Amino acid sequence: MGPRVNGRASEGSLRIRALVAEAILSLLALAGLLLAPGPAMAQASPCGINPRDWCPAPAGDPCGRYRNVAECRADERCYGMPYQGESVVACIVDERGFASNCPTVGCTSTPPPARRR
């Protein structure tokens, strides 16, 4: 307790108590915001943005069984999922979705969109 004047807490100690109570409430509110799932936390980053990603094919896609580029490229029915992240230069993608200068991040039986000429 702080010093007392006429049996009452001094004005300075009352201010300190009020500041401590305000700090505790602020910290609790901040902790609640950090722990509550929000839109940014609920949504993971889309697959294919990280060069180390290997994105899943849609459910039931026969090419989804392949877990690397070599297996995917070996099956003529399959197409590569091109990297969607940032790159210093544009990715050079062939007609099957495999890039010569960017990573392939998945395998699918869905052909890539037609390239612009």
Residues with Cβ within 8 Å of 71's Cβ and at least 6 positions away in sequence, in order, are 107
Residue length of the chain:
117
pTM listed for this prediction: 0.60
More confident residue, 72 or 22: 72
Amino acid identity at 7? G
pLDDT score of 101: 94
pLDDT tens sequence across 89-107: 999 999 999 999 999 999 9
The secondary structure of 38-57 as a DSSP string is: -HHHHSPPPTTSSTT--BPP
What gap in Å lies between CA 106 and CA 79, rounded to an integer? 8
pLDDT score of 92: 93
Q: Which SS3 state, helix, strand or coil, does residue 80 take?
A: strand
pLDDT tens sequence across 48-61: 999 999 999 999 99
CA-based torsion, 35, 40, 42, 44: positive or negative: negative
More confident residue, 38 or 32: 32
